[in-house]
Amino acid sequence: MLFTLIEIFPGIAVYFVAIIGLAGDFALKLKLPFLTWMVLFGLTMLCRDPWQR
């Protein structure tokens, strides 16, 4: 879980924030899939059990 919070989540978040920023200049409907994915990914990373296979 610590690795996920330190390495994975910030990298993915920066990438998707950049995409949302670029897509946001065009239309809100282009941002919604990325925002939805980022929220669901964040919830999954915070709620999952790291020892579960």
The whole-number pLDDT of residue 52 equals 62
- Within-domain flag for 8: yes
The whole-number pLDDT of residue 29 equals 79
Q: Is the pLDDT of residue 4 over 70?
A: no
User: Whole-prediction pTM value?
Assistant: 0.51
- Within-domain flag for 52: no
What's the structural domain count of the chain?
1
Q: What are phi and psi of 46, to 5 degrees?
A: -80, -25
Q: Which residue has the higher pLDDT, 29 or 40?
A: 40
- Within-domain flag for 38: yes
- Within-domain flag for 7: yes
Across the range 38-49, mean pLDDT stands at 80
4 contacts 11 by C-beta, under 8 angstroms: no
Across the range 7-19, mean pLDDT stands at 80
Q: If you ran DSSP here, which 8-state letter would residue 48 be given?
A: S
- Within-domain flag for 35: yes
Q: Which residue has the higher pLDDT, 6 or 14?
A: 14
Residue 34: which domain range?
Answer: 2-47
Nearest CA-CA partner of 33 in 25, 43, 23: 23
- Within-domain flag for 53: no
